[in-house]
Amino acid sequence: MKKVGILGGGQLGRMLLQTAANYPVETYLMENDANAPAAHLCKHFIKGDITDFNAVYEFGKSLDVVTIEIENVNVEALEKLAEEGIQVIPHPSALRIIKDKIKQKQYYKHNQIPTPEFVITHSKKELQNHVSFLPAVHKIGNGGYDGKGVQVIKTEKDIEKGFDAPAVLEKMVVIKKEISIIIAVSKNGQTAIYPPVDMMFDPILNLLTYQICPAALDESVFYKAEAIAISAVKNLNSSGIFAVEMFTDAEGNVWLNEIAPRVHNSGHHSIEGNYCSQFDMLWRILLDYPLGNTDVIMPSALVNLVGDEGFQGAAEYIGLNEVLAMDNIFVHLYGKQQTKPGRKMGHVTIISKDKQELLYKANQIKNTLFVRSK
Amino acid sequence: MKKVGILGGGQLGRMLLQTAANYPVETYLMENDANAPAAHLCKHFIKGDITDFNAVYEFGKSLDVVTIEIENVNVEALEKLAEEGIQVIPHPSALRIIKDKIKQKQYYKHNQIPTPEFVITHSKKELQNHVSFLPAVHKIGNGGYDGKGVQVIKTEKDIEKGFDAPAVLEKMVVIKKEISIIIAVSKNGQTAIYPPVDMMFDPILNLLTYQICPAALDESVFYKAEAIAISAVKNLNSSGIFAVEMFTDAEGNVWLNEIAPRVHNSGHHSIEGNYCSQFDMLWRILLDYPLGNTDVIMPSALVNLVGDEGFQGAAEYIGLNEVLAMDNIFVHLYGKQQTKPGRKMGHVTIISKDKQELLYKANQIKNTLFVRSK
For B284, name the nearest residue in chain A, comparing CA atoms only. A324
Contact A290 B351 (CB under 8 A): no
Name B184's bridge partners: B192, B241
**What's the start-to-end Cα distance of chain B, in Å?**
43
pLDDT higher than threshold 80 for residue A370: yes
- The identity of residue B358, as a single letter, is L
| Pairing status of strand B240-248 against strand A87-89 | unpaired
CATH 3.30.470.20 fits B177-373, yes or no: yes
**CB of A259 closer than 8 Å to CB of A253:** no
Out of B24, B315, B328, the one facing A293 most closely (by C-beta) is: B328
Say how many CB pairs under 8 Å bridge A and B: 77
Give, for all 374 residues of chain B, the pLDDT tens digit: 999 999 999 999 999 999 999 999 999 999 999 999 999 999 999 999 999 999 999 999 999 999 999 999 999 999 999 999 999 999 999 999 999 999 999 999 999 999 999 999 999 999 999 999 999 999 999 877 656 789 999 999 999 999 999 999 999 988 999 999 999 999 999 999 999 999 987 666 655 578 999 999 999 999 999 999 999 999 999 999 999 999 999 999 999 999 999 999 999 999 999 999 999 999 999 999 999 999 999 999 999 999 999 999 999 999 999 999 999 999 999 999 999 999 999 999 999 999 999 999 999 999 999 999 98
| Pairing status of strand A329-333 against strand A344-351 | antiparallel
Q: Is B83 on the interface with A (CB under 8 A)?
A: no
pLDDT higher than threshold 80 for residue A109: yes
pLDDT value of residue B147: 63
The hierarchical CATH code for the domain B2-89 is 3.40.50.20
Kindly calculate the radius of gyration of chain A based on its CA atoms and give it in whole angstroms.
Answer: 20
Q: Is B187 on the interface with A (CB under 8 A)?
A: no
Domain coordinates in residue numbering, chain B: 2-89, 117-171, 177-373
**Confidence tier at A149 by pLDDT (50, 70, 90):** confident
What sign does the CA torsion over B336, B338, B343, B346 have?
positive
DSSP-derived letter for residue B327 is: T
**CB of A64 closer than 8 Å to CB of A25:** no
The hierarchical CATH code for the domain A117-171 is 3.30.1490.20
3-class SS of residue B301? strand
- The identity of residue A169, as a single letter, is L
CB-CB neighbors (< 8 A) of B324 in chain A: 284, 289-290, 292
Q: Do domains B117-171 and B177-373 have the same CATH topology?
A: no
Model ipTM over 0.90? yes
**Confidence tier at A64 by pLDDT (50, 70, 90):** very high
Name A180's bridge partners: A197, A245
How far does B324 lie from chain A, in Å, by closest CA?
Answer: 6
Question: What CA–CA distances, in Å, run from B103 to A316, B73, B96, B118, B121?
Answer: 44, 17, 8, 12, 13
Instruction: Report the pLDDT averaged over residues A102-106.
Output: 96
